[in-house]
Structure 1
């Protein structure tokens, strides 16, 4: 039994052994970049859930699971000759040095560690402005000239909508206040009603997308993360429905045995008990 803590080097060695054709893990050996993407996304959400619950012991474990995803990709990259873990780290450090000139004016990590820091005062707004300018320059170097270029298509739809809107806002394409956004939401609701009444499923689908997109815009103007807001709403719905279900179980019944009117009354009772 080892008394000292394991290190990143130990984790890299473990990963290499899992992928070793001679004695490795059959499941790990079958994986590819594409097949572990769903696990990566799931682990990221589990990290977010632990943070929102302030479950820091669990967060410790979930961060390890997320780190393992990076280690897995690094091993695959090494095997295929694309990159390895050390190159991932080097690329990240160089990017962060480049994006923080207010902390590393010479662009050198060790210069800052030796006491060389920027003497010009800078506030958070300037940091954000500089950060976006540097990122824009990086996108330009990659040939991404459009305002919306570089917004990952693999992001959750709500998150991507917010990022697209934020990018458009930077070039002046935005409502000056949330009032215009709320008016737009009402307009989209009316158009959705028209599509539903006309019996046009395809049109209704499109109008529903427009409505959700407008709601994301409202969240952005309120400085609310739409993904987090919807996760909170999901948890609230789950909690309240579980309350309805628990009450019916006490009566020896199931939700399917109750009428919609009864379910609504129970829902209102649970909601009232929560004070909202």
Structure 2
């Protein structure tokens, strides 16, 4: 009988997870986990993958992809214990779906245009929904957008689906105008002092900003993450400069902070 280390890596991983979940000799923490308790860990691991990619740390990316794969194996093991499905069924369904959704690669189908390929993709997805018992007459295209997605990603997915139904601007110029319109409405709400109205208009402005990003070919989540890192880098530069002079940021006039910020913008924070 092959030892754990002699098995195929995937089979070895599945065996390790089974051992961790063993009711008698497994790890207490691993045994306690459920579908629901793993959700925050899965989201965290997905973001750590994104972070490694954005930092260009590909050695770390290898580790983080392993951590993300562990989440899939963990869910599959819990499902197997409940008699729902197992890891191999997850893989088989994924393989079937990839082949089904790419007939131009696996079935010799030829599409005359990218638009035709997209229509075929949507037709396959609609067929998949029908196969799951979802009545097209009762199910809207937005009904299965995950409500737990981060708001920026959810807005982008909603807009992409609406666009595939023809409800979208054909170019970016009118979206710029819509951003300006929403900004003016936010100014008016702010002047009114109505907090609920202000919140609503802030949401509308963010939603249309996502739409503008789409039309400019920019992924809004990625763009915002880059801006967050840029702000943090410049802010840390200010902290270092102030610490070197024995000052605290809270005691420094705003004008001096602005001057330090400009230094950071000139690239001195590197």
- CA RMSD, aligned part only? 2.1
2:52–2:58 Cα contact (<8 Å) kept: yes
Please list, as runs of the form range in 1=range in 2, the aligned pairs for 1:44-193 lying within 5 A after superposition. Answer: 44-105=46-107, 118=108, 120=110, 126-141=116-131, 142-144=134-136, 145-193=139-187
1:115 equivalent in structure 2: none
CA contact (8 A) 1:47 1:63 kept: yes
Rate the CA distance shift 1:191–1:19 in 2: closer, same or farther, 3 A.
same
Give yes or no for contact 1:185–1:215 (8 Å, CA) kept in 2: yes
Q: Say if 1:175 and 1:70 are closer, same or farther in 2 by CA, change over 3 A.
A: same
Equivalent pair of 1:177/1:221 in contact (CA under 8 Å): yes
Q: In the alignment, is the contact (CA less than 8 A) between 2:111 and 2:117 conserved in 1? A: no
Match of 2:40 among 34, 38, 41: 38
C-alpha distance 5-239 of structure 1, shift in aligned 2 (>3 A): farther
Q: Which of the two has greater helix per residue?
A: 2
Alignment CA distance shift 1:185-1:159 (3 Å): same
Please list every run of 5 or more consecutive structure 1 residues that lacks an aligned counterpart in the other structure. 106-117
Q: Does the Cα contact within 8 Å between 1:162 and 1:216 map onto a contact in 2?
A: yes
CA offset at residue 140 of structure 1? 3.9
Q: Separation in 1 of the partners of 2:247 and 2:189?
A: 39
Unmatched 5+ stretches in structure 2: none
For the Cα contact (< 8 Å) 2:239–2:249, is it kept in 1?
A: yes
Aligned to 1:210: 204
Q: TM-score, normalised by structure 2?
A: 0.90
Asked if 1:22 corresponds to 2:24, the answer is yes
| Secondary structure of the corresponding residue to residue 37 of structure 2 | coil
Checking the alignment, whether the CA contact within 8 Å between 1:18 and 1:29 is kept in structure 2 is yes
Instruction: Tell me how far 1:122 sits from its aligned partner.
Output: 6.3
Question: Greater CA deviation, 125-134 or 68-77?
Answer: 125-134
Decide whether the 8 Å contact of 2:175 with 2:211 is kept in 1: yes
Return the alpha-carbon distance in structure 2 between the equivalents of residues 70 and 3 of structure 1: 21
- CA drift of 1:173 comes to 1.3
Tell me how far apart the structure 1 counterparts of residues 268 and 129 of structure 2 sit (CA, whole Å). 48
The answer to whether the 8 A contact 2:4-2:15 is kept is no
